[in-house]
Structure 1
Amino acid sequence: MWLYLIMALLTIIPFWMFLPKFNLPSWFAIFTITPFTVIPLLWVMAYRDKVTIPGIDK
């Protein structure tokens, strides 16, 4: 249990800092607790110039 919490924090903190650089809200970092949301979020960050997100991109 403690190991999972430590790993979750070590994942959330870098995402919290990097997401605003990709014009995404930093609170999206909370979703990185599960691996099923980390992979799509990394994909969006990798292809950010080609992907538009309704409601965020104007």
Structure 2
Amino acid sequence: MGGMWWFILSALTIIPMVKLLPFFGINKYWSVACIVPLGTVALLWWMGVKLTELERK
């Protein structure tokens, strides 16, 4: 049963990432990293770095 919750939570984070990452200039296939919890944190950090780069331009 725990694996099913893991799959549901992964899908709930991957789907929005697929739509958000291209806006930050990141390939949408990186959203697969959301399968690992630290991958989600890393992607959010990467998006934050890209956002600061976009604001400086």
Q: Which runs of 5+ in 1 are unaligned?
A: 51-58
| CA distance in 2 between partners of 1:26 and 1:14 (Å) | 10
Q: Does 1:46 align with 2:48?
A: yes
**One-letter amino acid matched to 1:35:** P
Match of 2:26 among 24, 27, 48: 24
In 1: Cα distance, 2:5 partner to 2:46 partner: 28
Alpha-carbon distance in 2 for matches of 1:8, 1:39: 13
Q: What's the TM-score, normalizing by structure 1?
A: 0.78
**1:7 aligned partner:** 9
Looking at secondary structure, tell me which structure has more helix per residue: 2
- Ranges in structure 2 where 5+ consecutive residues have no aligned partner: none
Number of positions where the alignment pairs a residue of Structure 1 with one of Structure 2: 50
For residues 29 and 22 of structure 1, the distance between their equivalents in structure 2, rounded to whole angstroms, comes to 13
- Return the offset for 1:7: 0.6
CA RMSD between the two structures: 1.3
Identical aligned pairs, as a percentage?
Answer: 30
